[in-house]
Amino acid sequence: MAEQFSSSVQFGLNLSKRIHHTPVPLPEMTRSSEEFLPTAPMCYAVIPDPQVVDNPDIRSYQPYVYGLCDPPALIPLQLQGIEMEVECCLDTAFVTVTGRWRVHCVTGSSLCDCQVAIPIGEQGSLLGVEVDDSGRSYHTELVSLKDEKDKQKMAKSKDGYFLKSQIYIVNIPQFKGGSIFSVKMKWSQKILFHDGEFRLTVPFCFPSYVNPVGRKFSKKEKIFLKLNSGTANEVLCKATSHPLKGLLSQAGKLSLSYEAEVPAWSSTDFSFSYTVSSSDIFGGVLLQSPFLRDFDEREIFCLYLYPGNCQERKVFKRDVVFVVDISASMKGIPLENAKNALLASLSQLNLQDTFNIIAFNGEAYLFSPSMVTATNEAILKASTWVDTTFIANGGTNIMHPLTQAMTLLRKSSDSVPLIFLVTDGAVEDEREICEFVKSYVTSGKLVRTPRISTFGIGLYCNHYFLQMLAQIGRGHHDAVYDLDTIDIRMQRLFSTASSVIVADITIKSLEGLDSQELFPSHIPDLSFGSPLIISGRYNGTFPELVKVTGTFADMTSFVVDLKVKREKDMQLTNVFSMRHIDLVTAHAWLLESEELEEKVSKMSIQNNVPSEYTCLEMILVKKDDVKKASDNFLLQKAYSQLSFKGIEHDIPKLFLGGLSHGFGDSKATAENIPPATKEEKQGLLEMAASTCCGKVADTFCCMCMLKACSFVNDGCTIVCTQLCAALACFELIKCCMELCDCDCDCL
């Protein structure tokens, strides 16, 4: 899909040469690379009919173009202005981009659909889109998926989808040629932490072809950055991609801005790195009351621990077992990238560390029957074993290798034992695996139980199972949907999970609170690779000091008293909503609890964060009939409160799909379908009747086809017609089978 999108943009750029009085022949549709994918918020005109492409102000009277574009060409629209606001809170950034685009490539008497491309940053989530055109506007709302009809409607939606793992496309219909419209898009993304520095990168690299041509336009770029670390420590700016000027600098807070007239739009991503000044481990506790309409009336708290900038702090000895999926579905890029990341992770081990490797499909294959010291010879031997053993074949069985890994690590005492699980599949006994790990953890009171970190690849594995497994095992979880990022993301996860400086952390002062809820429920260790953030809800009186204890790598005790303060400048529910929703969803899946599913739905709608139990709708509001739209909305609310069913409301809506991950696909895993081959089942009905005949017709030009048909007698014509009809019926049957996932052998 990404390659087709890139090819359509390349075709659109060639087609747009008609606008500038430079007649050029239409380029051939050849297989193109992905160089035309959006690297910043972009808008494209969707052009199925090339004859509408022209200057909307002055017709150029270019030669007539015959035929239609299939798939439609995509012409990047000219950018008229861009503003970006970034709010950094703890380890989460909220990005709001507002841009104005002109439909410069369609005649003033014609209409075209437009696509909005939103390249969301790493580990991000789309929070909302607003489109403002003359006479109308769109805005997004989250609604609950209450029945199977809603879910089917959402699954078939073509108005919104992920082009790649972090590029989301929204289709907006009917823009007039020459019109100017604005789009406001908002998303959240993770602020990465490495070597004591927080680093944020926001896609903001615009290609040269979005710059307006012809008459001079005022190009103003605006960036506003607001940072709240939650601490009382000084925030130090380390590096920035754009020349930001300081507006405010207080303890733990920073405000910066950038505004300039530019000859061309930004050609580099916006990046910003900073440190929170401290030479050792530090932290604090933030409290906040729920806002007025919060369905959960309990108080909110957040406890954070930062590892500080002291690199002299000793890291725990590591006993690590890599458990890697080598089933047939991992064949090719997934297994090669996972193998490269595994070998790179082995090179990070020290002589005091031990390791082992378990490759699994339907069976389990051990590198060694016992743990091996991480010498150069052992790592070289392991590298040779990996090359010969990592051959993708067979099915997927996770329980057996996981049990073996725990057995290998049962004698660890002065180290942090780590299991690093990598898989691309879902299995039938996932709940049994979680219960087994939970019983193992609760029974191991006298020894340090293995920390389980999980890494999911692609769309078919159950990421909520992997997240729950990591939570029970006090480890970390990450997932990739872009196969090219497996190597770097897997190495980063291992680096975070294996650089523990404080283990066995407990919070001593919260026993007296009522209705206490912790996220995550099992407290992980503190490592150099990531700050530790625990949040939750409570009733009662919160203590003025919170005592946190743990164990250093030299086996001495870690004790710190954290000060408690009321937070006024940061909305904690927004900061933690995405992780709370993910964790509660994982619990709802594990317990099969409808009550928790309803809770997730409420949390999602309240905080405008997509979930598995809600869908994002884009609603059209006509400005000349705002009162009517408002009345319809009030009626809709009244109908819902009275529980009237079967009433359709005439508010135009677009359904934005693809924002949830699902709970894995054990059927696809059993069939060993590679993680990169999942295709959206859309457009099948339109293509069904024309596929077979279209392939034949594409081989000839129109005139040759007409001449050939003139020599065919009536009997042959009838036979050909019946044959074409039969082939079309077969294609329609195939289409129905694909849409319904039919397994009937009779067809």
Cβ-contact 297, 290 below 8 angstroms:
yes
Alpha-carbon span 491 to 173, nearest angstrom: 42
Q: What percent of the chain has pLDDT over 70?
A: 82
When pLDDT is averaged across residues 84-92 and rounded to a whole number, the result is 95
Alpha-carbon span 499 to 493, nearest angstrom: 10
Alpha-carbon span 11 to 747, nearest angstrom: 39
What's the pTM value of the predicted model, to 2 decimals?
0.85
Tens digits of per-residue pLDDT, 350-369? 999 999 999 999 999 999 99
124, 118, 78: which is closest to 97 by C-alpha? 118
Q: What is the mean pLDDT of the chain?
A: 84
H or E element at residue 462: none
Residue 6 tokens read as: 């890139």
Alpha-carbon span 600 to 142, nearest angstrom: 12
What's residue 68's pLDDT?
Answer: 87
Judged against a pLDDT cut of 80, whether residue 56 lies above it is answered with yes
Alpha-carbon span 548 to 531, nearest angstrom: 15
Alpha-carbon span 507 to 510, nearest angstrom: 7
Judged against a pLDDT cut of 90, whether residue 313 lies above it is answered with no
DSSP one-letter string for 607-672: HT---TTEEEEEEEEEGGGHHHHHHHHHHHHHHHHTT--S------EEEE------S--HHHHHTT
What's residue 352's pLDDT?
Answer: 92
Orientation angle between helical segments 430-443 and 399-408, nearest 10 degrees: 20
What's residue 76's pLDDT?
Answer: 95
**What is the bridge-based pairing of β-strands 136-144 and 220-228?**
unpaired
Cβ-contact 77, 43 below 8 angstroms:
yes
Tens digits of per-residue pLDDT, 122-180? 888 999 999 999 888 999 998 888 755 666 666 666 788 888 878 999 999 999 999 99
- For residue 292, how many C-alpha atoms fall within 13 Å in the half-sphere facing its CB? 0
Residue 183's pLDDT band, with cuts at 50, 70 and 90, is very high
Residue 741's pLDDT band, with cuts at 50, 70 and 90, is very low
Q: What percent of the chain has pLDDT over 90?
A: 58
Residue 214's pLDDT band, with cuts at 50, 70 and 90, is low
Alpha-carbon span 725 to 354, nearest angstrom: 67
Which residues on adjacent β-strands are paired with residue 91?
none
Residue 219 tokens read as: 């190009």
**Least confident among 192-206, 236-250, 505-519, 677-691:** 677-691
Residue 281 tokens read as: 């481990």
In this structure, what DSSP letter does residue 530 have? B
What single letter denotes the amino acid at residue 268?
T
Burial level of 152, CB count in 10 A (0-12/13-18/19+)?
Answer: exposed
Alpha-carbon span 243 to 713, nearest angstrom: 76
Query: b/e for 267-291, b at 16 or more Cβ within 10 A?
Result: eebbebbbbbbbeebbbbbbebeee
Phi, psi of 289 (to 5 degrees): -85, 150
**Least confident among 30-34, 49-53, 585-589:** 30-34
Q: Is the peptide bond before 401 cis (omega within 30 degrees of 0)?
A: no
Phi, psi of 515 (to 5 degrees): 50, 45
374, 277, 273: which is closest to 321 by C-alpha? 374
Which residues, in sequence order, are CB contacts of 399 under 8 Å at separation 6+? 427, 429, 432, 433, 436
Judged against a pLDDT cut of 50, whether residue 681 lies above it is answered with no
Higher pLDDT, 698 or 179: 179
The three-state DSSP-derived secondary structure of 705-745 is HHHHHHCCCHHHHHHHHHHHHHHHHHHHHHHHHHHHCCCCC
Neighbours of 524 (CB within 10 A): 22
Higher pLDDT, 733 or 349: 349
What's residue 228's pLDDT?
Answer: 94
List alpha helices for 48-185, DSSP H. 148-155
Residue 533 tokens read as: 């953030």
In this structure, what DSSP letter does residue 427 have? -
601, 628, 597: which is closest to 615 by C-alpha? 601
Alpha-carbon span 127 to 607, nearest angstrom: 9
Residue 260's pLDDT band, with cuts at 50, 70 and 90, is very high
Residue 680's pLDDT band, with cuts at 50, 70 and 90, is very low
When pLDDT is averaged across residues 445-459 and rounded to a whole number, the result is 86
The three-state DSSP-derived secondary structure of 174-194 is EEECCCEEEEEEEEEEECEEE
Higher pLDDT, 290 or 308: 290
Residue 192's pLDDT band, with cuts at 50, 70 and 90, is very high
Orientation angle between helical segments 486-498 and 333-346, nearest 10 degrees: 30
Residue 591 tokens read as: 């317990």
Judged against a pLDDT cut of 70, whether residue 710 lies above it is answered with no
Judged against a pLDDT cut of 60, whether residue 21 lies above it is answered with no
**What is the bridge-based pairing of β-strands 415-423 and 317-325?**
parallel
Which residues, in sequence order, are CB contacts of 178 under 8 Å at separation 6+? 56, 57, 102, 103, 104, 106, 108
Residue 722's pLDDT band, with cuts at 50, 70 and 90, is low
What's residue 647's pLDDT?
Answer: 38
Which residues, in sequence order, are CB contacts of 126 under 8 Å at separation 6+? 118, 120, 168, 185, 186, 187, 610, 616, 659
Judged against a pLDDT cut of 70, whether residue 633 lies above it is answered with no
Residue 621 tokens read as: 């509001």
Judged against a pLDDT cut of 70, whether residue 732 lies above it is answered with no
What's residue 486's pLDDT?
Answer: 94
DSSP one-letter string for 226-270: EEE-SSSSPEEEEEESS--EEEEEETTEEEEEEEEE-SS--BS-E
Judged against a pLDDT cut of 80, whether residue 672 lies above it is answered with yes
Cβ-contact 531, 306 below 8 angstroms:
yes
CA dihedral for 591, 592, 595, 601, sign (positive or negative): positive
265, 273, 276: which is closest to 84 by C-alpha? 265
**Least confident among 426-430, 616-620, 662-666:** 616-620
Tens digits of per-residue pLDDT, 509-548? 887 788 888 999 899 999 998 999 999 999 999 999 999 9
**Which of 128-132, 640-644, 683-687 has maximum average pLDDT?**
128-132
Residue 698's pLDDT band, with cuts at 50, 70 and 90, is very low
